[in-house]
Amino acid sequence: MDEQNKFPPEANKPSAYKILIVDDDDIIRETYRQVFQEHGFESISAKDGVEGIDLATKEKFDVILTGIIMPRMDGFQLISALRENVDTKDIPVAIISHLGREEDRRKSKELGIENFIVQGTMTPREVVDKMKSLIVSGSAFQLGFDYSAWDAPALAKKMNLAGFECPSCQNKMILELTPKPEGKGFDAFFKCPKCDLHL
C-alpha cells in the first residue's frame, strides 16, 4: 500500500473512525479519501477488490465504501469475500455507484447491502454523515407515509414536489432517517427508492 493513501486527520489528534475506500477511479477515490480525512476519519484507499480484501484482512476498519466495476475483483465479489471471512463479515459496507443501474441495486440488496449511493445524488459531506450513521447504527431507516395527510401537501408544495414525486423519474419519494453520529436524533432526507435521488 502506498503510504500517501494514509494520513492522520489532524496532527496529534486520534481519528474517530477508520474507513476503507475501494474504487478504481483515481479522482473519485482520492476525492473521498480527502473528504473523509477532513472530517476526522483515518482514510485508506484501494484500487480494486483484491487490494481491498487484502487491506481489510490486515487492518481493522469501522466501515468500507466500495465502487462496483473494478478490475480483478469487483465490488460485489469484494462484499462476498468480506462476508465469508470471520474477521470482516460484520464490517458495515456501503456501495457507491457511478451508473445507478437497477440490476446493481437489486444485487446489492441480495448481498444485504441497503446503503446504495448513486454518485452525484448526495454531496460528499452527506456521504460522510451517512457512513458515520452506518457505523453507529448499522443501517438507515426508510419510511413510507401518507402523501395527503396532515401537513404533507403543504410540505410538498413548499418543496415543489407535486405529490411527492421524484423530479428525476416521477416515482413516489420515501423518507429516509439516519441516526446522528452523536446518537441523539436523526438526519432526514426524502429519497427516491428507484433512482436514489436525495432531497
Tell me: pLDDT of 47 over 50. Answer: yes
* Predicted pLDDT at 2: 42
If you compute the radius of gyration of the chain from its CA atoms, what whole number of angstroms results? 18
Are 91 and 150 found together in one domain? no
Are 91 and 28 found together in one domain? yes
pLDDT-derived band at 191, boundaries 50, 70, 90: confident
Are 145 and 132 found together in one domain? no
Are 187 and 90 found together in one domain? no
Are 18 and 69 found together in one domain? yes
Question: Of residues 53 and 101, which shows the higher confidence score?
Answer: 53
Are 68 and 26 found together in one domain? yes
Are 126 and 182 found together in one domain? no
Are 89 and 173 found together in one domain? no
Print the SS3 string covering the chain. Answer: CCHHHCECCECCECCCEEEEEECCCHHHHHHHHHHHHHCCEEEEEECCHHHHHHHHHHCCCCEEEECCCCCCCCHHHHHHHHHHCCCCCCCCEEEEECCCCHHHHHHHHHCCCCCEEECCCCCHHHHHHHHHHHHHHCCCEEECCCCCCCCHHHHHHHCCCHHHECCCCCCECEEEEEECCCCCCEEEEEECCCCCCEC
Are 119 and 153 found together in one domain? no
* Predicted pLDDT at 7: 37
Domain boundary among 139, 174, 190: 139
* Predicted pLDDT at 136: 72
Are 159 and 97 found together in one domain? no
Domain boundary among 112, 139, 166: 139
Which of 50-54, 99-103, 133-137, 145-149 shows the lowest mean pLDDT across its residues? 133-137
Domain boundary among 139, 156, 187: 139
66-89 per-position pLDDT tens digit:
999 999 999 999 999 999 999 999
Asked whether 166 and 194 are in contact (CB, 8 A), the reply is yes
Has this prediction a pTM greater than 0.85? no
* Predicted pLDDT at 10: 38
The boundaries of the domain holding residue 82 are 3-139
Are 10 and 97 found together in one domain? yes
Q: How many domains does the chain have?
A: 2
Q: What is the CATH number of the domain that holds 97?
A: 3.40.50.2300
112-155 per-position pLDDT tens digit:
888 899 888 888 888 998 898 788 765 567 888 888 899 999 99
Are 39 and 122 found together in one domain? yes
Print the SS3 string covering 87-102. Answer: CCCCCCEEEEECCCCH
